[in-house]
Amino acid sequence: MSEQTEHTEHTATSLEKPYQRPAPQEILGQAGRRGPFRYGERIQVTDTKGRKNTFLLDPHGYFQSVRGSFHHRDVVGMDEGSVIETDAGHELLLLRPLLADYVLSMPRGAQVVYPKDSGQVIAMGDIFPGARVLEAGVGSGALTMNLLSAIGESGHLLSIERREDFAQIAASNVDAWFGRHHPAWELRTGDFADVVAARVESGSIDRVVLDMLAPWENVEAASSALAPGGLFLAYVATVTQLSRTVEALRHSGLFTEPESWESMVRTWNVDGLAVRPDHRMVAHTGFLLTARRLATGSQPLTRKRPPARGAYDEGGYWLPDDVKERTSTDKKVRRVLRDCRAKQPADATVVRRGTADYSQDGDHA
C-alpha cells in the first residue's frame, strides 16, 4: 500500500502581479527560515480535519479553501505555530512545513521515496556530515533533500538521473526547499556506469545509494567508486528486484553478506481510554538492502548455506512495466517541468551532462 496523505500544494491567486522568481535565501535550508513568517517563504495551513495546504507567501496572495480564506499579508509577521480564525468561523493552524511535509506536497515527475524509507536510508546508510555520497535515480528529489541535509555543506553529493526532465524537476524541488543551490550538490544526467567511469575517482566514495529499476547492473561500477568499508544501499520495489540485487552482490565477491528488510508504519488513535491502532497503515512501499565494500584482495566470509540453484540467471533490460511501477505520462511531466522552471530561484542548480567537463557541458537552468 502506498503512503497517502492530505498534503496539497495550493497555488495562491494573484491577479495584480505576475509570479516572480524568489531571491536566493541567504542562510541555507531550514536554518534560514526562523522567526516570524516573511514574504517569499513556504507556509503550511492545516484545518481541524487535518487537511494541509502548502504555498508561498506573496504580497498579493490570497488563500481560499472550504474552511475559510485570508490575505497573505494578514499572516506575515505572525509567529510560527499561530492559530487564526477565519470569517467562516473555522480555525487554521499556520506552520512552516517539515521536510516530510514538503516531500508529499511538492511537484512530482516520478514517484518519491517516502519519509519512512528515507529516514531508514539516512540511519542504516550511516549518512554523516561531510560524507562523499553517490546517488542514482534522483526522481523528484525527495531522497536527495534528505541526503543533502545529512551531509551538510562540507560533504559532497553527486546525483545521477537518466532522464533530463526528471533531473530538472528534482533540481527545482531541491532548490525550493533549501532556498538556493546547495553548495554540496552536483547533478548530472546519463547512465550510472558511464558517469562513474568519467567523473568519479576509484575508491573515493563513502556511500552509494541506488534507487533504480535494475541496481544489480551497476554493482561493478558501485564497487569501483566505493572506498574499502564503504556502504552500498539499494531501494527496490519488488521481491524479484531484491533477489537479483542481493545475488549480484554475492556473486561479485566484493561485498559483505547483504542485509535486506522492509519497514511498515501503523499510526494509533489515542483519545482518553480509547486507544487503538488506526484502521489504515503504511505497509509495503519498498525494500532496502545494504552491503559493505571489502578491501582489495579480501574475500567474503564463507556462507553456511550454498546459494539457491538458478540464482544468477542472465536477464535482459528491465522496463517500468516489468515491475508494475507507476509512471507519469510525458504530458504530465512536461506540465510539471514547466511549472517548476518558473519557480526556480536566480541561482538555480545546473543540470549537467553526465560525462562532460564543466567547460564543455551546456547549462540547463
Please determine, for residue 314, whether its predicted confidence score (pLDDT) is greater than 60: no
* pLDDT score at 19: 52
Over residues 28-85, the pLDDT tens digits come to: 999 999 999 999 999 999 999 999 999 999 999 999 998 889 999 999 999 999 999 9
Over residues 175-191, the pLDDT tens digits come to: 999 999 999 999 999 99
124 in a domain, yes or no?
yes
Please determine, for residue 322, whether its predicted confidence score (pLDDT) is greater than 80: no
Shared domain for 49 and 138, answered yes or no, is: no
Please determine, for residue 331, whether its predicted confidence score (pLDDT) is greater than 90: no
Range of the domain at 88: 30-97
Shared domain for 141 and 286, answered yes or no, is: yes
> For all residues of the chain together, what is the average pLDDT?
88
Please state, in angstroms and rounded to a whole number, the distance separating the CA atoms of residues 136 and 120.
Answer: 17
* pLDDT score at 15: 41
300 in a domain, yes or no?
no
* pLDDT score at 343: 77
Please determine, for residue 23, whether its predicted confidence score (pLDDT) is greater than 90: no
* pLDDT score at 332: 81
23 in a domain, yes or no?
no
**Over pLDDT 90: what percentage of the chain?**
69
* pLDDT score at 87: 87
User: Residue 60 is part of a domain; what is its CATH number?
Assistant: 3.10.330.20
* pLDDT score at 178: 96
155 in a domain, yes or no?
yes
* pLDDT score at 298: 96
Per the structure, the count of domains in the chain is 2
* pLDDT score at 3: 47
* pLDDT score at 2: 41
322 in a domain, yes or no?
no
Residue at a domain's end among 71, 97, 123 = 97
Shared domain for 86 and 155, answered yes or no, is: no
Shared domain for 153 and 196, answered yes or no, is: yes
* pLDDT score at 122: 98
* pLDDT score at 361: 57
Angle (nearest 5°) at CA 280 between 275 and 284: 125
Shared domain for 144 and 204, answered yes or no, is: yes
Over residues 235-254, the mean pLDDT reads 96
287 in a domain, yes or no?
yes
Over residues 14-35, the mean pLDDT reads 76
* pLDDT score at 4: 45
Shared domain for 179 and 213, answered yes or no, is: yes
Please determine, for residue 274, whether its predicted confidence score (pLDDT) is greater than 80: yes
Please determine, for residue 10, whether its predicted confidence score (pLDDT) is greater than 70: no
Query: What's the pLDDT band for 110 if we cut at 50, 70, 90?
Result: confident
Q: HEC profile for the chain?
A: CCCCCCEEECCCECCCCCCCCCCCCCCCHHHHCCCCCCCCCEEEEEECCCCEEEEECCCCCEEEECCEEEEHHHCCCCCCCEEEECCCCCEEEEECCCHHHHHHHCCCCCCCCCHHHHHHHHHHCCCCCCCEEEEECCCCCHHHHHHHHHHCCCCEEEEEECCHHHHHHHHHHHHHHHCCCCCCEEEEECCHHHHHHHHCCCCCEEEEEECCCCHHHHHHHHHHHEEEEEEEEEEECCHHHHHHHHHHHHHHCCECCCEEECCCECCEEEECCEEEECCCCECCCCEEEEEEECCCCCCCCCCCCCCCCCCCCCCCCCCHHHHCCCCCCHHHHHHHHHHHHHHCCCCCCCEEECCCCCCCCCCCC
Compare 364 and 219 and report the one with higher pLDDT. 219
107 in a domain, yes or no?
yes
